[in-house]
Amino acid sequence: MQITVNVNGDEHTADVEPRLLLVHFLRDSLGLTGTHWGCDTSNCGVCVVWLDGTPVKSCTVLAVMADGRTVRTVEGLAAGAALDPVQEGFVRCHGLQCGFCTPGMMMTARWLLDRNPDPSEEEIREAISGQSCRCTGYENIVRAIQWAAREGVSTS
């Protein structure tokens, strides 16, 4: 099937198998390897991207479902050389170690802050509760998002 997907502002048209997962389309067809794959069952959330402005787990979305729609990935988070405050917060607060869950976590964090610029710790924890991190115990991810809320001005 031919699909056209806007990814991070660029239109991409491709012939894909109907069963192709969005995560594989992004990674293998477009070479956007910042989005990771981790579990197949929508549990871990390392594959989170935005689809028409809403975070989705791209391991359980078919690429064809993104036809005519807009996808935003971690590669589209910074505005050129300027990091998004969420990215800056993750660096400043040591919100990442191995970095594997980080892109998905940051996409969810950006989405949260766009809707709720001053979230409580509980609201942050709930927002990222569908995503796993094996390194940080979540503490510094929460602090990173709090930093972005406090200090940051969104570039998006």
Regarding 137 and contact with another protein (CB under 8 A), the answer is yes
Query: CB atoms < 10 A from the CB of 34, how many?
Result: 19
Q: Which is nearer to another protein, 5 or 105 (CB)?
A: 105
- Judge residue 128's burial from the number of C-beta atoms within 10 Å of its C-beta, 0-12 exposed, 13-18 middle, 19 or more buried: buried
CA 23 – CA 44 distance, rounded (Å):
13
Regarding 20 and contact with another protein (CB under 8 A), the answer is yes
Among residues 94, 114, 120, 154, which is the contact residue for another protein, using CB under 8 A? 94
Q: Which is nearer to another protein, 33 or 70 (CB)?
A: 33
CA 50 – CA 124 distance, rounded (Å):
18
Sole residue written with tokens 């998004």? 84
Regarding 123 and contact with another protein (CB under 8 A), the answer is no
Regarding 121 and contact with another protein (CB under 8 A), the answer is yes
Supply the minimum distance, in Å, between the C-beta of residue 54 and another protein. 19
CA 127 – CA 117 distance, rounded (Å):
13
Which residues here bind another protein, judged by CB under 8 A?
Answer: 17, 19-20, 24, 27-28, 31-41, 43-44, 46, 73-75, 77-78, 83, 87, 90-92, 94, 96-103, 106, 121, 124-126, 128-142
